[in-house]
Amino acid sequence: MAKLKTVSVDPAAFKLLKREKGPRESYGDVVRRIFAAHAEANYDPSEHIDALFAEFGGQGLFSPEGRARVVTRQKNPPRSRRPARAV
């Protein structure tokens, strides 16, 4: 059996998915069918990146200070406060 994943969608998206679903079709089948249709039409999801980040005005998600903090933590991550496990 294939490994299953849980996906959360808002009620409006669920209504759209339910409307597309056939009587003997699973929700996974609907998702595969819709994405296959987009793939056949040379669908490029990167076309939507600009629309998704338009609300940020092209500035990114972090302020310069926040970005510097992320870079610092990536270079030197904080140690866990949990005690080490016995081996």
d(CA 82, CA 68): 26
Nearest to 22 by CA among 13, 32, 12: 32
User: How confident is the model at residue 56, as a pLDDT?
Assistant: 65
Q: What percent of the chain clears pLDDT 70, i.e. is strictly above it?
A: 71
d(CA 27, CA 19): 11
**Taking the complete model, does pTM exceed 0.85, yes or no?**
no
User: How confident is the model at residue 50, as a pLDDT?
Assistant: 67
**In which residue are the tokens 């998702």 written?**
31
**Is 45 a residue whose pLDDT tops 70?**
no
**Average pLDDT of every residue of the chain:** 80
d(CA 47, CA 16): 22
Cβ contact 62:70 at 8 Å? yes
